[in-house]
Chain A
Amino acid sequence: MNIFRLFGDLSHLLAIIILLLKIWKTRSCAGISGKSQILFAIVYTSRYLDLMTTYISAYNTFMKIVFVATSYATVFLMYMKFKATYDRNHDTFRIEFLIVPAVILALVINQEFTVLEVLWTFSIYLESVAILPQLFLVSKTGEAESITSHYLFALGSYRALYLLNWVYRYYAEDHYDLIAIVAGLVQTVLYCDFFYLYITKVLKGKKLQLPA
Chain B
Amino acid sequence: ENYIKSKDEL
- Chain A interface residues (CB < 8 Å from chain B): 5, 9, 12, 50, 54, 56-57, 60, 63-64, 67, 111, 120, 162, 165, 173, 175, 177, 180
- Chain B interface residues (CB < 8 Å from chain A): 3-10
* Docked pose: A211 CA to B7 CA in angstroms: 40
* 8 further contact pairs, Cβ within 8 A, besides A63-B10, A64-B10: A12-B10, A56-B4, A56-B7, A60-B10, A67-B10, A173-B5, A175-B6, A180-B9
Whether the Cβ atoms of A5 and B5 lie closer than 8 Å is: no
Residues of A within 8 A of B8 (CB): 56-57, 60
Whether the Cβ atoms of B9 and A5 lie closer than 8 Å is: yes
* Docked pose: A165 CA to B6 CA in angstroms: 13
Question: Can you offer 13 A-B residue contacts whose CB atoms are under 8 A?
Answer: A5-B9, A12-B10, A54-B3, A54-B4, A54-B7, A57-B8, A67-B10, A111-B6, A165-B9, A173-B5, A175-B5, A175-B6, A180-B9
Residue of A nearest to B4 (CB): A56
* Docked pose: A134 CA to B9 CA in angstroms: 25
* Docked pose: A117 CA to B8 CA in angstroms: 13
- Min distance, Cβ A97 to any Cβ of chain B, angstroms: 26
Question: What 5 A-B pairs come out closest when comparing CB atoms?
Answer: A177-B6, A56-B8, A63-B10, A175-B5, A9-B10
Residue of B nearest to A179 (CB): B6
